[in-house]
């Protein structure tokens, strides 16, 4: 191996980073303000700019990554006119996020893309080694075999999958386009103003140079970690900030021989001269090498020339002459921040523009998709006139605490990975299933999904059903859903009358008649008696429940719907 390989990611740099990570998570749940630079105004059009075209849409999504595309998919599925602009010509070629949690698959299941995702992920099923090697062709220092996927059928119909974001985004893009979303790639946002009536955006076709004015009711800013919209609107961020600076070197090489039958989930390259992380795809012909650099020592992204990048990849493989082709070099920061605000008037921040999560645990992209899912049904309800505009205030109220907790958990896991976590810090780490299937929109810690009981503000528990629908997860997604017990016909009738009288999108089922609970556990799982009921939001979270019958079912349910939809006229 070439000695030059030790220039970046040295042992000293790694030790400094681990110490910094340890210091940063001593108070992982505390955030100190570090405002970003930018004007607090919404922007002003440049004088004399000629706008060639004009169009209207209900929601403008800025950013065509997995969160922006998911936002467009969810909105289009809900019948909302949505336009997405993305300055790059296509989706990312970098794997970026590699793992997708069960809750994300539940959301994609409701959106109609779960089968495509599972098919695309088949080749990664045996990538189960967390390893540490001197180089792929060198000594193996240690390995951990990840267990087969736990049997989670009691808590979810879905499973965790591994799949690079470069493979996920085209799936979501195709589904969003098929659902009717307008997706404008090679199109950059260059100006935006807000008024009481809506948002006025100026975008430009980066190929033709043609400008277009887009008038929208609302904007979702999914424009990444450096979010120009967040900066433009003067929104600061809280948190640790950057832990370290990294580059992802995307390369092509035949890794069949060097891997020697192994399939890594994560492979750490570690020797006296070189430290990095390597990931590979299921074809064994493409990989990503993640290397740290230190600006404080005069290192920069510019140091990673094609020649230098080839040297580093060859050092990771362990052969100075191995055939390697560099596809791209992507700089990024391992950081932990949450935006001070997730909304500025008609602009909502989602994904990395709202929060950056340390990658240990793989929460970041999943968290962003959950943002989009929470926001999409609310925008759809307000735009359709089914909800009051105050419903949109609940986006930040619900998602910001989840974001802060998730960023903190990423910091704690980073400390554990670095080996500097104290016993107290280790005790604060929350099970990933609780973080992803058991987070809540009421005060309190996440709940392990096996312990969910239908409490309002938590995810509605999964139950297996007999019939065309396999799970209660398949019932949620479009409308509010009322699930009543076997003796809850009064609740079903109340829901039907209120829906017809108030134009409220509610579908009601009696479990045991309309839906067959295969295991007969609905009352226990949802915390209701046979004559009780639970009201579930379109995003699959419980909005309200009554443990049993009441004298005035219509009035009780009308109050619940009024609260859930921020309306005062439901009666």
DSSP assignment of 430-478 equals PPHHHHHHS-BSSSS----GGG----TTBBPPP-BEESS--BGGGT-SS
Predicted confidence (pLDDT) per residue in 496-529, tens digit? 999 999 989 999 999 999 999 999 999 999 999 9
Tokens representing residue 69 in the block: 């595309």
Q: Measured between alpha carbons, how far is residue 366 from residues 107, 165, 229, 390, 410 in Å?
A: 10, 11, 22, 26, 13
Report the alpha-carbon distance of residue 116 to residue 118 in Å, rounded: 6
Per-residue pLDDT, averaged over 74-97, amounts to 97
pLDDT band of residue 52 (cuts 50, 70, 90) is low
Per-residue pLDDT, averaged over 99-105, amounts to 97
Domains and CATH numbers, the chain: 53-125+156-237+336-424 (3.50.50.60), 465-565 (3.40.30.120)
Res. 427: pLDDT tops 80: yes
3-class state of residue 339 by DSSP: strand
> Contacts by 547-556 with C-beta closer than 8 Å and gap 24+?
549/487, 549/488, 549/490, 549/491, 553/490, 553/491, 553/493, 553/494, 554/494, 554/497, 554/498, 556/494
Q: Measured between alpha carbons, how far is residue 312 from residues 13, 81, 255, 317 in Å?
A: 16, 47, 15, 9
- Could you give the dihedral angle defined by the CA atoms of residues 413, 419, 422 and 423, in that order, rounded to the nearest 10 degrees? 80
Report the alpha-carbon distance of residue 21 to residue 515 in Å, rounded: 50
Average pLDDT score over the chain? 90
Res. 346: pLDDT tops 90: yes
Report the alpha-carbon distance of residue 80 to residue 222 in Å, rounded: 18
Tokens representing residue 208 in the block: 């033709």
Per-residue pLDDT, averaged over 466-483, amounts to 96
Q: Between 402 and 36, where is the model more confident?
A: 402
Report the alpha-carbon distance of residue 137 to residue 207 in Å, rounded: 45
Q: Which residues does 78 contact at the CB level (< 8 Å), separation at least 6?
A: 376, 377, 380, 478, 538
Report the alpha-carbon distance of residue 246 to residue 9 in Å, rounded: 9
Res. 192: pLDDT tops 50: yes
pLDDT band of residue 274 (cuts 50, 70, 90) is confident
Of 503, 538, 540, nearest to 386 by C-alpha is 503
Predicted confidence (pLDDT) per residue in 197-214, tens digit? 999 999 999 999 999 999
Report the alpha-carbon distance of residue 354 to residue 372 in Å, rounded: 11
Predicted confidence (pLDDT) per residue in 210-245, tens digit? 999 999 999 999 999 999 999 999 999 999 888 899
Q: What is the pLDDT of residue 419?
A: 84
Predicted confidence (pLDDT) per residue in 132-190, tens digit? 999 999 999 999 998 777 789 999 999 999 999 999 999 999 999 999 999 999 999 99
3-class state of residue 53 by DSSP: strand
The pTM score is 0.90
Q: What is the pLDDT of residue 272?
A: 84
Cβ atoms within 10 A of the Cβ of 318, count? 18
Which of 37-51, 352-366, 507-521 is least confident?
A: 37-51
Provide the β-strand partners of residue 506. 480
Predicted confidence (pLDDT) per residue in 361-414, tens digit? 899 999 999 999 999 999 999 999 999 999 999 999 999 999 999 999 999 998
């Amino acid at each position: 191996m070439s000695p030059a390989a030790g220039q970046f990611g040295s042992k000293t740099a790694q030790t400094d980073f681990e110490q910094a990570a340890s210091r940063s998570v001593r108070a992982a749940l505390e955030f100190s303000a570090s405002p970003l630079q930018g004007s607090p105004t919404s922007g002003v059009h440049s004088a004399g700019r000629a706008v060639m075209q004009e169009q209207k849409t209900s929601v403008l999504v800025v950013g065509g990554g997995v969160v922006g595309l998911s936002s467009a998919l969810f909105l289009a599925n809900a019948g909302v006119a949505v336009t997405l602009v993305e300055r790059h010509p296509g989706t990312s070629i970098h794997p970026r996020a590699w793992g997708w949690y069960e809750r994300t698959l539940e959301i994609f299941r409701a959106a109609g893309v779960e089968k495509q995702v599972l098919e695309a992920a088949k080749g990664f099923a045996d990538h189960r080694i967390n390893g540490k090697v001197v180089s792929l062709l060198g000594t193996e220092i240690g390995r951990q075999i990840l267990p087969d996927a736990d049997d989670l059928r009691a808590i979810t119909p879905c499973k965790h999958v591994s799949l690079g974001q470069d493979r996920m985004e085209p799936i979501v893009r195709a589904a969003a386009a098929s659902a009717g979303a307008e997706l404008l790639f090679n199109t950059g946002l260059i100006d935006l103003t807000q008024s009481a009536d809506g948002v006025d955006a100026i975008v430009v076709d980066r190929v033709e140079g043609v400008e277009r004015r887009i008038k929208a009711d609302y904007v979702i800013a999914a424009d990444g970690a450096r979010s120009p919209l967040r900066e433009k609107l003067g929104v600061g961020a809280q948190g640790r900030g950057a832990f370290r600076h990294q580059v992802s070197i995307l390369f092509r090489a035949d890794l069949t021989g060097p891997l020697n039958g192994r399939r890594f989930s994560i492979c750490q390259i570690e020797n006296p001269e070189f430290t990095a992380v390597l990931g590979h795809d299921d074809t064994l012909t493409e990989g990503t090498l993640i290397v740290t650099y230190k600006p404080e020592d005069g290192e920069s992204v510019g140091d990673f020339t094609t020649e230098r990048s080839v040297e580093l990849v060859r050092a990771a493989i362990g052969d100075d002459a191995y055939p390697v082709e560099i596809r791209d070099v992507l700089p990024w920061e391992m950081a932990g921040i949450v935006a001070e605000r997730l909304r500025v008037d008609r602009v909502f921040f989602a994904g990395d523009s709202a929060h950056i999560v340390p990658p240990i645990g793989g929460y970041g992209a999943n968290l962003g998709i959950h943002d989009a899912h929470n926001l999409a049904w609310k925008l759809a309800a307000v735009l359709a006139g089914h909800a009051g505009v105050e419903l949109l205030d609940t986006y930040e109220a619900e998602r910001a605490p989840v974001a802060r907790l998730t960023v903190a958990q990423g910091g704690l896991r980073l400390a554990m990975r670095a080996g500097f976590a104290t016993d107290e810090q280790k005790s604060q780490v929350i099970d990933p299933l609780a973080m992803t299937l058991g987070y809540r929109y009421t005060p309190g810690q996440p709940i392990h999904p096996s312990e969910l009981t239908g409490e309002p503000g938590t995810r509605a528990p999964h139950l297996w059903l007999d019939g065309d629908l396999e799970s209660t997860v398949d019932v949620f997604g479009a409308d509010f859903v009322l699930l009543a017990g076997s003796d809850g016909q009064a609740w079903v009738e109340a829901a039907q009358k209120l829906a017809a009288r108030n134009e409220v999108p509610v579908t009601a089922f009696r479990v045991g008649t309309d839906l067959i609970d295969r295991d007969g556990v609905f009352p226990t799982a949802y915390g209701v008696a046979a004559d009780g009921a639970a009201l579930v939001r379109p995003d699959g979270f419980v909005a309200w429940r009554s443990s049993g019958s009441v004298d005035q079912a219509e009035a009780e349910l009308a109050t619940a719907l009024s609260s859930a939809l921020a309306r005062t006229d439901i009666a």
